[in-house]
Amino acid sequence: MNQYTAVKATLEARLEELTQRAADIESRLSDPGNADWEENATESEDDEVLSGVGSAAKKEMHEIKLALNLIESGQYGKCTACGGPIPKARLEALPFATTCIKCA
Ligand SMILES: [Zn+2]
């Protein structure tokens, strides 16, 4: 039993949530939009907000996948930059942290 089984479950649940959110955002962005140009103007502003949310979600998904890979390879909890240990408190606050506070 891996000591990070619980972390892995948390990360996988979070990844699932983000994947669904990203899919939802993408389907809303690909909506053809309203025929009324005034509504369209409002909608493109919304689209920009949604794109921002989408890229933040994608960045987090990428980080979570990295962390999951590290768990698989037994490297989780080690800083990917300096190789030093990542403090437990940091991993608890940020389960997908792949660097220590110094290297972050
Ligand atoms: Zn480091």
Domain count within the chain: 1
Residue 88 is assigned to a structural domain of this protein: no
Residue 62 is assigned to a structural domain of this protein: yes
Note down the domain range covering 56.
5-77
77 alpha carbon to ligand 1 midpoint, in Å? 11
Residue 93 is assigned to a structural domain of this protein: no
62 alpha carbon to ligand 1 midpoint, in Å? 19
Weakly modelled stretches of the chain, pLDDT under 50: none
Predicted confidence at residue 46, as pLDDT, reads: 78
50 alpha carbon to ligand 1 midpoint, in Å? 33
16 alpha carbon to ligand 1 midpoint, in Å? 28
55 alpha carbon to ligand 1 midpoint, in Å? 26
Q: Which residues pair with 78 in a beta bridge?
A: 85
Kindly report, residue by residue over 14-25, the tens digit of the pLDDT.
999 999 998 888
Burial class from Cβ neighbours inside 10 Å (0-12, 13-18, 19+) for residue 99 reads middle
Compute the distance between CA of residue 34 and CA of residue 43 in angstroms, rounded to an integer. 8
The model's pTM: 0.75
Predicted confidence at residue 36, as pLDDT, reads: 57
